[in-house]
């Protein structure tokens, strides 16, 4: 791996090791074993793999994990009932509804039902609002992981020009808030942005969360920029990001690969959030 490639595997392993140690300390100090519950509706193969990995890694970190796999014809009310039940279950500290849900379901009201203290995906209106207000809350795992990768690469953010491509509630919007909180000057681009390449060319930091394979080209990127590629696109040539790695890497100060970059961090930060949720529910002051 060349010097400017940020190794998400290494950073994620460090985070998971840290969480494992902190879980041991938390339990030794009388805290409950943190518990993560996932709800998976239907049989989407990619979602099944993500959920399986979440359980494997949470157990490795010393947490309990509870998997609720429901048939694809499960009704909105049945899922709502399960969420209410998990909200009341003291052994569950984090609840995650795996997205996307089948078309007949509306995920927004289901997410809104999750107790904000157990909302380890940071997607409830309460946690999204807290982030927008700059107050402590649960931060979505993927953008939180991107911030750790930027730190791992010693990326200066104070006063930096940052461009976020994408404005989803899962990645783009929280990413904007986190960069703003780090005192970057943030431009948020999306599908209606005029001259996307022109915005990118000004950027010291680019975060691409789009879902379009290899959208960001080498000649869009300023020499010395840091480029974080959130994209995970399954194509004939395998898993590729939103950044054309081969043309961008030679110009970048630092860049994440796909795979082996941001994807590694998402589960690690989910574990951070689950431990944080257990601490808050136990009335222990937030650690971050």
Tokens coding 161: 């020009």
* Shortest distance, position 216 Cβ to ligand NAP, whole Å: 10
Which 244-273 residues touch ligand NAP, going by CB under 6 A?
262-263, 266
Which one, 12 or 82, has the nearer CB to ligand NAP? 12
Which stretch in 9-17, 70-78, 116-124, 162-170 sits in contact with ligand NAP by CB under 6 A? 162-170
Which stretch in 12-20, 150-158, 226-234, 249-257 sits in contact with ligand NAP by CB under 6 A? 226-234
Number of residues that bind ligand NAP (CB under 6 A): 26
* Among residues 210, 216, 268, 278, the one that binds ligand NAP under rule CB under 6 A: 210
* Among residues 53, 69, 107, 168, the one that binds ligand NAP under rule CB under 6 A: 168
174 contributes a contact to ligand NAP by CB under 6 A: no
98 in active site: yes
Contact between 33 and 246 under an 8 Å Cβ cutoff? The reply is no
Question: Which residue in the list 57, 98, 148, 281 is annotated as catalytic?
Answer: 98
111 contributes a contact to ligand NAP by CB under 6 A: no
211 contributes a contact to ligand NAP by CB under 6 A: yes
* Shortest distance, position 126 Cβ to ligand NAP, whole Å: 20
CA–CA separation, 228 vs 209, rounded Å? Answer: 9
54 in active site: yes
Residue in this structure with the two tokens 């990645």, named with its chain if needed: 171
Give the H or E element holding residue 18. helix 8-28
Burial 17-53 (b: 16+ CB within 10 A, else e): eebbebbeebeeeebeebbbbbbbbbebeebeebbee
Which one, 214 or 280, has the nearer CB to ligand NAP? 214
Q: Is the peptide bond before 100 cis (omega within 30 degrees of 0)?
A: yes
165 contributes a contact to ligand NAP by CB under 6 A: yes
Which stretch in 9-17, 18-26, 79-87, 203-211 sits in contact with ligand NAP by CB under 6 A? 203-211
* Shortest distance, position 199 Cβ to ligand NAP, whole Å: 10
- DSSP for 121-149 reads T--SHHHHHHHHHT---PPPHHHHHHHHH
Q: Tell me the backbone φ, ψ of residue 119, rounded to 5 degrees.
A: -85, 75
Torsion of CA 49, 70, 272, 35, to 10 degrees: -130
Give the H or E element holding residue 173. helix 172-181
Residue 236 CB neighbour total at 10 angstroms: 5
Contact between 174 and 186 under an 8 Å Cβ cutoff? The reply is no
* Shortest distance, position 81 Cβ to ligand NAP, whole Å: 27
As annotated, the active-site residues are: 54, 98, 121
Q: What is the binding site for ligand NAP (CB under 6 A)?
A: 142, 165-168, 170-172, 189-193, 196, 209-212, 215, 230-233, 262-263, 266
């Amino acid at each position: 791996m060349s010097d400017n490639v940020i190794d998400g595997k290494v950073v994620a392993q460090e985070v998971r090791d840290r969480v494992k140690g902190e879980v041991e300390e938390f339990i030794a100090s009388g805290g409950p074993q943190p518990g993560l519950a996932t709800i998976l509706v239907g049989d989407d193969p990619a979602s099944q793999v993500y959920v399986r990995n979440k359980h494997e890694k949470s157990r490795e970190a010393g947490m309990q994990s509870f998997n609720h796999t429901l048939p694809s014809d499960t009704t909105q009310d049945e899922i709502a009932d399960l969420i209410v039940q998990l909200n009341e279950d003291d052994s569950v500290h984090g609840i995650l509804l795996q997205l996307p849900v089948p078309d007949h379901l509306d995920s927004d009201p289901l997410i809104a039902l999750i107790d904000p203290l157990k909302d380890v995906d940071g997607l409830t209106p309460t946690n999204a609002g807290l982030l927008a207000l700059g107050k402590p809350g649960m931060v979505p795992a993927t953008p939180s992981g991107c911030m750790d990768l930027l730190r791992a690469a010693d990326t200066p953010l104070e006063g930096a020009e940052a461009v976020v491509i994408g404005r989803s509630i899962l990645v783009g919007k929280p990413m904007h808030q986190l960069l703003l909180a780090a005192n970057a000057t943030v431009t948020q681009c999306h599908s209606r942005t005029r001259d996307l390449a022109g915005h990118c060319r000004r950027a010291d930091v680019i975060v691409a969360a789009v879902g379009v394979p290899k959208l960001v080209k080498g000649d869009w990127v300023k020499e010395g920029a840091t480029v974080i590629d959130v994209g995970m696109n399954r194509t004939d040539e395998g898993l590729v990001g939103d950044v054309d790695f081969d043309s961008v890497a030679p110009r970048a100060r630092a860049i994440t690969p796909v795979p082996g970059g941001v994807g590694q961090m998402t589960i690690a930060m989910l574990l951070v959030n689950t431990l944080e949720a257990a601490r808050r529910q136990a009335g222990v002051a937030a650690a971050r």
